[in-house]
Structure 1
Amino acid sequence: MKHLYISFLVVFFVFFIQIVGGQAFISKPSLGFTQACASPLFNTFDITFSFTPETNSNPTNQFIIELSDSSGSFANPNILFTSTAGSVVESPATLNFSLPTSTSGEAYKIRVKSTGSGVTSQNSSTFAAYYKVHDSPFTINNSNENGSYCSGGSYLLTIDNPSDGMSDSPLQYPSLTFEWRKKTSPTTSVFVANGSSYSVSEPGTYFVKTDYGTCTSDSSSNHVTISEAGSGNTTSSINSSLGNPFCSTEGATTLSAISGDSYIWLKDGKEISGATSQTYVTEESGEFSVIINLGSCTASASILLESNGFTSSIDVADTETINEGGAVIASITTDATAPEFEWFFNEVVISGATTNSYEATQVGRYKAIVKQTIGCISTNEFEFIVKEPFPDVADIPNLISPNGDGINDTWVIPQNYVNGANTEVLIINAQGKTVFKTNNYQNNWPENQLDFQHINPVYYYIITTPDNKTKKGSITVVK
């Protein structure tokens, strides 16, 4: 009887454990993803799991999602999510979580715990997980596409980290690691090294990417082709920061050469004084070249730098004359892309004047502006003056009265001595000092008010024609 009672207790205890075990169970989490590749723009993932019992009897129960370390160990798990007490009561359940910014590895696992029953699920399947804190292209080698090293030497490639604050360099994120690769075909490459720099001792094309394992990313650099120079010279290339052609209205472009010991820059074959750095800043077009000392050998590079601005011309002189009722038609020729035209008269915009030509019928100052509206946005300006014809006087006057009454205010001489006649007009004062001299007289002396009070000053003129014939005389100034 005693043995029968003991047997009954054993059977009852086993049956009780089975019942309890059946009442508290959490299944292995099912991942809603194959890789967890998070970034500042996306960081939401989900898992699904079943549990028993399905009941509302424990209003304090919470489900906790735990993340292992990158090797799959839960020795020090990271809590990703904790549900609100009593909020998850129906099985199966799907819960969302976000990854910590330090996540980086190929062998993470997840498990689920229940605070009400103290039960923990099996571990999930292994998965790769990374938080891509940097996910954009970056540059190496100052964006130079080529480099060269002397035979037996090496060339150091580094990730750029500009101090201007405008570039999102991955070096600004200390947690990141990097993978240098060498191209083996247009679409394939092989791993060569880790680190923020790489010393190249074998010719080829190299680049570096942020190490996010099997997660794809845009955090990758430009490609740089490295060549080995012999004991003599090798050729390289020059990079223009604003491209080539460059838009001069954006400012100066920076020309960059490969890294070397010293540099000599030239423009159109002539050495540029003081240009001995790895870079040269210019706003000019032309053929630029550089000689680079690499130590035991040299390299040279050149670039035909062009501006993608435009050219224009106008078919009127700086000064035009019109008779009463006459007109001057000014026309502009330009190779600007989608040009726009604007005309001004005495610094005021002329309404409706928006074509490449304008008929000027008034005496005054004119200005035309041509604007290229597509591509390199830039402008050209032209100015010209329209005047009445000079009066055709027969004699050279010896008296003027610059009092502002509009009569005899300036010294007006015969037309064959003025306005393009290439005749020199020289005026000196009584002390022999030159006060006016020109080869294109415009009947405009005196240009400024002469200072005198009681004595009418006398000036002397010498007019010399292109064939060296001279006219001399005096000019008395009266009020």
Structure 2
Amino acid sequence: MKKTSSYNSILVIVFAFMLLGAHSLSAQVLEKPTTVWTAACASDSFNQYDVSFRWNPPLVDAGNEFILELSDSNGNFGSPRELTRVGDKNTDFNFDFRFTLPTDVRGESYKLRVRSTSPVKTSPATDSYPMHYIDYGSPLLISQDGSGTIPPGGAISVCGGGSVTLSPHNIPNANTYQYNWYRSGTLLSEKSESITVSTTGMYYVELDYGSVCSGSANTLSNTIEISAGSSVGIAINGPNDIGLCPGDAGTLTTNITGVGLTYTWFKDGAIVSGPTLEGSTYNINTGVSGFDGSYEVEVEGAAACLERSAAVTVRNLGEFEVTRQNEENIVLLPSQTKTLSVTTTATTPTYQWYKDGSPVSGATNSSLDITETGVYFARVTENGGGCSALPLDSANTTVVSPDSFEFVVAYAGAYTECQNTGATISLSTINAVSNSGAKTDVTADLQSSFTYQWVHDGNTIGGETSRTITVSNFEDNGDYRLDGVLNSFNVSSNDLNIRLSKNTSLEITSNGTILCEGADAIVFNSSENLADETFEWLKDGAIIDTSSETITADEIGVYQLIIRTNDCPIVSNEVTVRTFDESLLVLDSPEDIIIIEGETETVMATGAESYEWFDTNNTLLGTQDSYNFELEGEYLLVANFGNCTINRVITVTYRDTFSIPNVITANGDGINDLWVLPNTYSRDENVLVTIYDERGKEVFSQSNYENNWPQSTTSFNKQNMIFYYRVTRGGENLKQGTITVIR
């Protein structure tokens, strides 16, 4: 295959695709940004980084801006973050960006790239960088359960089978960080803010700011030594149920004393004393209310487990309770009798009922029948037991005779207008209203006494006669109220409006989401027939059309459709139209490939929706995301992104089999005048060719060597001269030797 003719064929194919609407590629080239730093460990005391950037002419548009973008922590640019932008470098082909690291950046594989706005171009991404904003840079303090109490000497003993949880206690929002936990110098797998351990060793922790930044953050904590201890069998002496009267002396004593243990006393799970060395007794203050409860003691010490005793219950013998058995508010209708009652824990109680603060004559039982309105309570006196106690009054009961009633209805459960597809309304409150307007909640007393009827927009609803109604159809939207009848009382509730959404899923679709010059227009369609609907097409939240059933997008933005025919609007999904970005297409190999004749090289493409591979005869070779190249020549890859297209020309060349020559005859006869390298080393931007004279002085150095030495300006002052060469890639020596130049 001839190189020239095949290349012209490829140009014809490319030109044909451009005529079909392919995205034209501008000539500007944005090079990969570079940095002198290899990691960004920012903080409030240092946060300033420079990035060097080069680009090649022709000039960009006058209004162009260069934008430095940051990937996510995995190196992906699906939603890049803008770090900084400049608009005054449109004639400067080599300049530096300066940026500050955002305070929420934490990760090991961030990348940078540069994007221009006019024309729209994107540079290759940099290699990965560890980047962390160190917002906490002080030594951590760890303690058991993060309590803040560091044990003496930093040592904790645990029993066989037991465990201890260690957590930092001096860092805000501890659960928002990742951690490096260590045991005796070995990094553990746990990454959360706490670790539960049972293995002996020296434990400490630091914040995980990655492979580079963790050390500079200075967050390494104190050390807690976990050692194996033995159980001492701690217990509280005496019975496990103790009764005391107010004012009595009450002392709790442990079964182990005088062995150097530290004691902590608990009441109902909360610390009431300690930790105290040799604090083996605890005096209960029975002179205060609430001294009764569940008491425990916890001990720890050298070679002793952290151990807690069984609980001891302490009761107040002079305390009893009185409980009202009827409702707090009661409605007394004409000629009606109600019964009030109380219960008590007193062992030998006597009762006296009161009405409006005065004793009721003869009312000395635990219950009372009433026929009058007022405020009632029962006073109970304990006449037995080992302690004297003051009488105790029950809670008040308010008895009213209403002038009228009030119903209050409310939504039952969560309800949001035009979001729910169903709603329930229920009677929440019945108030008895006096002639003065005072209201008393009598729901519990009377909710079963009324008869009910639901009303919708002024019309009674057949069969809806309970205290609750459920509406599940948007066609039943409207105002609802509840009517009720009790004897001569007729009651109507407040009105509640229900606006349910139509249970319809509205979806808009398009034939593409990426705008590019010369491509087919992006057209949006609705999943619902809009012929008889009132609707709005929106872009970025603003109405752009109210009459077209389909719309064409010619600008980037977020598109949406809203149908407003019914009470509640029906809102579609959002579709984002973006500007075409050539960097979406990624090849895992260079576009110039050198293969050994008879072998196969596979090229994988990613980022596009579909792919087509062509040879120079415009023959379709494949439609997968990869192709196996076996023959040399030029090939065309057409990558489709919806209605946008990228064309890439791939050149395949057989590897040269000749060796590096060590003699050339630079006499101008056109034969062996140039030092020609095999294509394994020539025309590769990653390979550097350097030539030295016999004194070791560098006379030629070129990446992407074009087989063009010696150049026409090279002078040779001898008939035969010796030169030395070195071929390197990334600093690694590939080949070296001598070149004899014969004139």
Q: Structure 2 length normalisation: TM-score? A: 0.29
Q: Structure 1 length normalisation: TM-score? A: 0.44
| Structure of higher RCO (CA pairs closer than 8 Å, 6+ residues apart) | 1
